[in-house]
Chains A and B, each alone.
Chain A
Amino acid sequence: MGIESKDLLSMEQLDCGQVKLILQTAKEMEKIIRRDIKKVPTLRGKSVVNLFYEPSTRTRTSFELAGKYMSADVININTTASSVVKGESLKDTGKTLEAMGADIVVIRHGMAGAPKMLGSYLKSRVINAGDGFHAHPTQALLDMMTIKENLDGFQGLKVAIIGDILHSRVARSNLRGLTTMGANVWLCGPPTLIPPGLERLDARVTYNMEEALEGADVVIMLRIQLERQKTGFFPSIREYSQLYELDRRRLALARKNCLILHPGPINRGVEISGEVADSIQSYINEQVTHGVAVRMALLYLMLGQKGE
């Protein structure tokens, strides 16, 4: 058993069983990360290409480490220093990588649908590491791993995702993944940052942060992109924090010991207070470890088992 479809593009394509398999595999992988010698030969002779059209530190690094811990050859393509700046199309870049023998291409792109497009051109497998506002399945999986490891399952949990929902691929992927696993997902943000049709995706929507936090088992805070203020989605960072910053006082509304997650990088004092970010309830650093584990699991399930 592995991941059947050639590409991993979004959470919609994973059913409950597949999510469980990935999370179980990731748990095994986490043991490798915690070893002194973090190297297994599983993916020896396989090549992983990180094709990142958007800046990223943690996602790119964790894919890189995930590959390296399993002995794959990992290449990072920095698009600002490649032929992309010479105007090469995504298709041509992808074809070139395939011709060089890439087994898997991990793509991060600012435009929704780009990974799907790339996958349709290539025989290599493609993993979506975030595309526009569309999807970020590996982030959702690592968030879900963090929840599962600490709360023992998803059924009936109240998960509040708070912030800029409109522009968030993390919110969309978590919504899909978590509802598939039986959690109740609340989405919360100012009305200008809530897209239409979320109810059809089984989300509960509120503009009121207190309502979203009430009895929540998990709170996922989203990073507020500072440039959104310039395009008029909210009047000022100051006002945004007054309305939507997770601080001690608001956190008290959630269930005791509720988990606090954040995909990072965090804006201290904007969407989350420094005190809360550093508190014992914050699992932000654990998320990062799980990020490597989940990506190892995916690379293994998509590359490692074939032909063995």
Chain B
Amino acid sequence: MKLLLQGGLIIDPKSGLEKKLDLRIEEGKITEIGSNLIEGESEVLDVRGKIVAPGFIDPHVHLREPGGEANETILTGCQAAAAGGFTTISAMPNTKPCADNEGIIELVKNRGSRAGLVRVLPIGAISKGREGREIAEIGSLYKAGAVAISDDGNPVTSSEVMRRALEYTKLFGIPVISHSEDISLSAGGSMNEGYWSTVLGLKGIPAQAEEIMVARDILLAELTEGKLHLAHVSTSGSIKLLRFAKEKGIHVTAEATPHHLLLTDEEVKSYSTNTKVNPPLRGEEDVHNLRMAVKEGLVECIATDHAPWCQEEKEQEYSKAPSGISGLETAIPVIWDTLVIKGNMSWLEVIERFTVGPACVLNLDRGYLAKGHEADITVIDPNLRKEVKAENFYSKGKNTPLDGRSFQGWPVMTIVGGKVVMQDGKLKG
């Protein structure tokens, strides 16, 4: 089986390549990148006017299985990822039971490969039961295939436990992903604290609830020389702290979500629970500073924090409804529209945040195009403009505040290991 992607604009941030070229795939690998490649017996895919990029990597998704199958399964999550233009996703461990043991890591890995769509990389828990008391068997998790550890959804409240986790993971070289939240400040809150929380009468969560933990974890990363990755940073203060840490040479990386880069807390005025997310949507200045930080590369990757919930879960009173946005199937157009069309980022820079960035965070030999390398490819139509239709999501979670909004720059093909898994928004095979 040979494929020839013909006439696309190939953008590979790692090598800096940005040129109209053909790309041939054989036996799941890239065999040729060049101009006017002969068709031969290859099946030709016409990608003129499209961008051919390394497969996009989402380092932060929730697949809900095991335990939350009403909201998502590994299969439907993989379908959403493929439809959304991602070739690799890493799954957070807050399932029921949680991935604090190698059994769950194996399960996620196996069901991920059985789905046969995208690559699923499990993330293990930091602590047993994600309770923040004792560190989990991180060695076993690593051996079973965990690419990182995180108690995402919960912060590690004990500084001592976080310290040990950052120290112990040095043995394996995997990052500790921090869900930075001081729960004594955020408890009971359901949106950003500020003018809008006052107007809407909802309990606010101050930016400092995030920043205090970001600061703590940066200092612990300095102490331990471990690898810290900050999940979903959302405030101006977190960005200042990140800059401080990087200038000091502390090993810290960070991700930002499409929703925090697009929406402000004003969105909550509809009381639509699809705007409820943790960390909450922030103020205008935060959104602006976050965009600048992504542009600059201070925040090196985009992560969806895909958090699917079924309708019943979200159809509750705002303060009772669970937090989360179903993000896999809108991430690329949201970012393209916001940061390229309406922003000042180049195509290459944006692609870098979806490929090289997350690959670097998770230590993956992925996120680039090269001869002999596995053919994981995302093809984007930079001119395609269409509306988000949540009802058509492959994900079981239709919980998006973006339903009905129009964005430009959609993925039109996802190729994983040489196999086309999505074409024109539809799954194949």
Inter-chain contact A196/B320, CB cutoff 8 Å: no
| Bound CA–CA A196/B271 (angstroms) | 19
Q: Could you list 27 A-B pairs, sorted by A, with CB under 8 Å?
A: A89-B315, A90-B316, A111-B318, A111-B319, A112-B271, A112-B319, A113-B200, A113-B271, A113-B317, A113-B319, A114-B318, A116-B271, A117-B271, A132-B201, A133-B202, A134-B200, A169-B201, A172-B198, A172-B201, A195-B197, A196-B193, A196-B194, A196-B195, A196-B198, A196-B204, A197-B196, A198-B198
Which residues from chain B contact A132 at a C-beta distance below 8 Å?
201-202, 319
Indicate with 1 or 0, residue by residue over A132-145, a CB within 8 angstroms of chain B CB atoms: 11110000000000
Q: How far is the CB of B401 from chain A (nearest CB, A)?
A: 14
Residues of B within 8 A of A (CB): 193-204, 271, 312, 315-320
Which residues from chain A contact B196 at a C-beta distance below 8 Å?
197
Inter-chain contact B318/A113, CB cutoff 8 Å: yes
Which residues from chain A contact B312 at a C-beta distance below 8 Å?
89
Which of B196, B200, B201, B203 has the most chain A CB within a 10 Å cutoff? B201
| Bound CA–CA A38/B167 (angstroms) | 77
| Bound CA–CA A194/B203 (angstroms) | 12
How would you classify the secondary structure of chain B's contact residues: helix, strand, loop or mixed? Answer: loop
| Bound CA–CA A109/B193 (angstroms) | 21
| Bound CA–CA A30/B203 (angstroms) | 37
Number of A-B residue pairs, CB cutoff 8 Å, is: 62
Which residues from chain A contact B197 at a C-beta distance below 8 Å?
195-196
Inter-chain contact A111/B200, CB cutoff 8 Å: no
Q: A201 is contacted by which of B199, B201, B271 (Cβ under 8 Å)?
A: B199
Chain A residues bordering chain B, tally (CB within 8 A)? 23
The 6 A-B pairs of least Cβ separation, nearest first, read: A134-B201, A197-B195, A113-B271, A133-B201, A111-B317, A112-B201
Which residues from chain B contact A64 at a C-beta distance below 8 Å?
none
Q: How far is the CB of B197 from chain A (nearest CB, A)?
A: 7
| Bound CA–CA A134/B201 (angstroms) | 4
Which chain A residue shows the least CB distance to B195?
A: A197
Q: How far is the CB of B202 from chain A (nearest CB, A)?
A: 5
Which residues from chain B contact A90 at a C-beta distance below 8 Å?
316-317
Q: How far is the CB of A199 from chain B (nearest CB, A)?
A: 9
Which residues from chain A contact B194 at a C-beta distance below 8 Å?
196-197
Q: Name the interface residues of A168-207: CB closer than 8 Å to any CB of B.
A: 169, 172, 195-198, 200-201
Which of A112, A116, A134, A200 has the most chain B CB within a 10 Å cutoff? A112
Which of B194, B271, B319 has the most chain A CB within a 10 Å cutoff? B271
Inter-chain contact B202/A200, CB cutoff 8 Å: no
Which residues from chain B contact A134 at a C-beta distance below 8 Å?
200-202
A131 within 8 A of B: yes
A6 within 8 A of B: no
| Bound CA–CA A226/B280 (angstroms) | 30
Which residues from chain A contact B202 at a C-beta distance below 8 Å?
112-113, 132-134
| Bound CA–CA A135/B199 (angstroms) | 9
Q: Name the interface residues of A266-284: CB closer than 8 Å to any CB of B.
A: none
Using known A-B contacts A116-B271, A196-B193, A197-B194, determine if residue A91 contacts B200 with beta carbons closer than 8 Å.
Answer: no
Which residues from chain A contact B319 at a C-beta distance below 8 Å?
111-113, 132
Which residues from chain B contact A114 at a C-beta distance below 8 Å?
317-318
| Bound CA–CA A91/B195 (angstroms) | 29
Which residues from chain A contact B320 at a C-beta distance below 8 Å?
111
5 additional A-B residue pairs with CB within 8 Å, beyond A91-B315, A117-B317, A196-B198: A112-B201, A113-B319, A195-B197, A196-B197, A197-B199
| Bound CA–CA A200/B199 (angstroms) | 10
Q: How far is the CB of B320 from chain A (nearest CB, A)?
A: 6
Which residues from chain B contact A196 at a C-beta distance below 8 Å?
193-195, 197-198, 204
| Bound CA–CA A111/B320 (angstroms) | 8
